[in-house]
Amino acid sequence: MYEIGKQETAHGVILVGLNTGEYDAEQSMKELEALADTAGCEVLRTVIQTRDTPESATCIGSGKLEEIAELVLFTEAEMLIFDLELTGMQIRNISEQADCKVIDRTMLILDIFAGRARTAEGKVQVMLAQYRYRLSRLVGAGAALSRLGGGIGTRGPGETKLETDRRHIRTRITALEHELRDLEKHRKFIGSRRKKDGVLTVSIVGYTNAGKSALFNTLTQAGVLTENKLFATLDVTARALSLPDGRSVLLSDTVGFIRRLPHHLVEAFRSTLEETAQADLILHVLDASEPDIRERMEITQSLLTELGCAEIPQIHVLNKSDLVDIPMRDEADTVWISAKTGYGLDTLLSMISRTLPQTAKRMTLCIPYSEGSLLQCLRDEGKIFSEEYTGDGVVIDAMVDIKRHKQVQRYLQDS
């Protein structure tokens, strides 16, 4: 089993990157360092090699690998973390030559997810992703897998010894898939009930560590974990949110996105992420203080498009405005806020009210005593803010469902 969060001292690691020109290697390595910090590592050195393609046997060149092996001895590093996916053979060869543990970017992210999952569905999703990833790398890894033992890169299913072969893993994958389908059915049933009851849903999405959970907590007082680390929140959380126009909506907080989010995670979490595709509105939260904010926005937009969310209305929420100079003029679909100080939250709530479909309207009505059934319907379908019994009937201040507007028009009072 994994040991993240339980070790008394941080794991000393060396980060290794490969610059092939496919993406910004330096930015990716900064993110890998943040991931390593989240996993409880102490980064001792960072090494980047520039070459056209990865070397098939060891990913990096033989000369660079010798250099890294010397660094391992000099720094007494416990582990090498590569900023790309390695094959089983590459893990084995690098581990043998460097004489230390070797994991890749995907294994590190899976490890963090395993430590963050709290709900039954979240735990199953992470374990399923880990087993699928391990199965694809069983051949060729050899003793390198046994070298992992405990610690970072092994949280979740565990690797007690190498007889955990493909047949065992496939059996576990099948069992986990069945368990996940049962959990999905329950969640989809709840979702369909919400839709049937006309509950509007707003989903918070964005790059990891943009402040999504901080915003969620500020708006709903939910008490969700917030840390200045990547993937502080993993499991989807939903709470009721009251809007300025009197309506109540369901606000959900989701897992953050990241560059090159591992395919196995996207697949395992697809059912959870697809809840966003059922939302009536998406709040795309961005860290306004990040220099690469546009790239992070594009990464999130690309994943939203992949999940079928391209047509859902969006509000771009530029968080952490207390750390930057705010422009004088906002765009129509953009609002500057600070979840920390509360700046701009009233503007955000008003924008949510205007952007969501108009399913109900706040009205002051005088319902005759003879229309008791109508009054009860208004109580059941909407929200009553106040009731006053008068000589003419019951005067109510209420949110009235749009389908009742014509029926109650004659009872409308001057507010």
pLDDT tens, residue by residue, 240-287: 898 888 888 889 887 778 887 777 677 766 666 767 888 899 999 999
Residue 334 belongs to some domain of the structure:
yes
Same-domain status, 96 and 125: yes
Which is it for the CA torsion 298, 299, 301, 305, positive or negative? positive
- pLDDT, mean of residues 394-405: 86
Tokens 């999405």 locate to 205
Give me the number of domains the chain comprises.
3
The answer on pLDDT for 129 being more than 90 is: no
Mean pLDDT in residue range 17-30: 90
Query: Are residue 236 and residue 341 in the same domain, yes or no?
Result: yes
Element (H, E) at 272: helix 270-273
The set of residues, in sequence order, having a beta carbon less than 8 Å from that of 68 and lying 6+ positions away, is: 14, 16, 47, 60, 80, 98
Neighbours of 21 (CB within 10 A): 9
Tell me whether residue 176 is in a domain.
no
From 113, 148, 183, the end of a domain falls on: 148
**Within a domain: 192:** no
Looking at 3-17, 289-303, 365-379, which range is the least confident one? Answer: 3-17
> 348 and 231, same structural domain?
yes
Give the domain range for residue 380: 360-411
